[in-house]
Structure 1
């Protein structure tokens, strides 16, 4: 369970990115976070694994106070949380399987880590993760030979190899065409359903948010202005979240 209680995040210069956030995410939920650029969506996600510190309030994950974690304790905590980025974060010049194997680097001794020597057990887990996103056939291809959609599936496989309890995704389909975007979202949904992993996606594509997520959190100027089922998002709700820009939303297209 993820729980925000009166959380504020203030950047240097005084910009308040999160304003008195109160939010609870239960195990196994699929939550889409929507809102205008700069509304605080990425900040919200990145406070969960302490990529960003909060200034006040309390943020807990499975009862752990995230603000107090540091050093080895923080590294261990982050192992239970997968993170997917828009830019894939792959090593383009190496193979797909080696990219997935990087998930196990924290578990290696320094010598194995330096030379990139992974036990057979880890290689089998990496191959299994690739199979879960139907890209096992590309295991020994170089990452730079893949399409954007395939690269994001490799990034998802790398995250699955960690055996996470939570997956955070920061604009995971923003750089993909509509067909590949839907395919990647299909895998997020499959993983959420089959593995009961909580998934939080910061996403600009409102149509995809409504199609795949069971719950939508709308943010405007750092505040939660909507929190409810995707079925409850209507024109009025979108206007609350996006203001006058709500009329410019184009479903099934790049924004």
Structure 2
């Protein structure tokens, strides 16, 4: 489904954000990417949907080399890849339903974009997606009247309405309280299990990565230093991923996780 071969990403300021990344993610996997701030987690995700261009190497999605795509081809790629952000990226002064319908706009003819006209089928798909994340009763509520967790669910519904094959989530629960974060993570797990969508998530909360993901990828300084099952993440693995962090001074695995998530 997603394959990196010797991928590097260098920014104009000379920062080498990704170094010789070799990685394969299969259809239906739930993958958590963890590491310190600046390790390259967000860059890795954003290369998958061409928000960032790779500098060298090969990156294929569903068998297509995406580094060579242009214009309409990139838009077609992104239709199959949903992106969830920490900041939700919603229009707060309009309803939940209208925010979800926004996801259809890129594929609409110009006249419908200008007039804001949506088909009955689009409205049906949007309402079904809202129902999938458990907030159908909020469909006609303005987004600015929702809690943070409900707003993140709106963002997830907008992505689901597009029927993507892959969901990329960039710190989706970083701004949420622990109880709400768990509810949102439950949504991701249910979508992964019931719909078979591939989920690749950059997440700061190590304990949630271990609890929800099938697989954990640990990045340090732009390099993969761990790639394995969540149950194989040990104290030593966390030390390697969070090199230079306070938790390296010793202590139990619980202390390592606590320090890594604070």
Separation in 1 of the partners of 2:221 and 2:261? Answer: 23
Separation in 1 of the partners of 2:258 and 2:167? Answer: 25
Shift of 1:254: 6.0
CA offset digits 1:171-222 (Å, max 9, x no partner): 0000000001010000000000001100000000000000000000000000
1:121 corresponds in structure 2 to 121
**2:54 aligned with 1:57:** no
Describe how 1:97-112 pairs up with structure 2 within 5 A.
Answer: 97-112=97-112
Does structure 2 retain, via aligned residues, the 8 Å contact 1:178–1:254? no
Superposed CA RMSD:
1.3
CA offset digits 1:90-147 (Å, max 9, x no partner): 0010000000001111221111111111011100100000000000000000000000
Q: Structure 2 stretches of 5 or more lacking a match?
A: 248-254
SS at match of 1:87: coil
Q: Structure 1 stretches of 5 or more lacking a match?
A: none
1:232 corresponds in structure 2 to 232
1:190 corresponds in structure 2 to 190
Describe how 1:1-255 pairs up with structure 2 within 5 A.
Answer: 1-245=1-245, 247=247, 249-251=256-258, 255=262
Shift of 1:244: 3.5
TM-score by length of 2: 0.95
Shift of 1:13: 1.6
Separation in 1 of the partners of 2:94 and 2:14? Answer: 42
Separation in 2 of the partners of 1:246 and 1:119? Answer: 55
Does structure 2 retain, via aligned residues, the 8 Å contact 1:178–1:252? no
SS at match of 2:200: strand
SS at match of 1:90: coil
Separation in 2 of the partners of 1:150 and 1:55? Answer: 37
Does structure 1 retain, via aligned residues, the 8 Å contact 2:9–2:18? yes
Give 4+ residue runs of structure 1 displaced > 6 Å after superposition: none
SS at match of 1:153: helix
Deviates more, 1:108-117 or 1:92-101: 108-117
SS at match of 1:83: strand
CA offset digits 1:143-174 (Å, max 9, x no partner): 00000000000000000000000000000000
Shift of 1:57: 0.3
| Aligned length in residues | 255
TM-score by length of 1: 0.98
Shift of 1:246: 5.8
SS at match of 2:211: helix
SS at match of 1:179: helix
Does structure 2 retain, via aligned residues, the 8 Å contact 1:238–1:246? no
Shift of 1:70: 1.0
SS at match of 1:243: coil
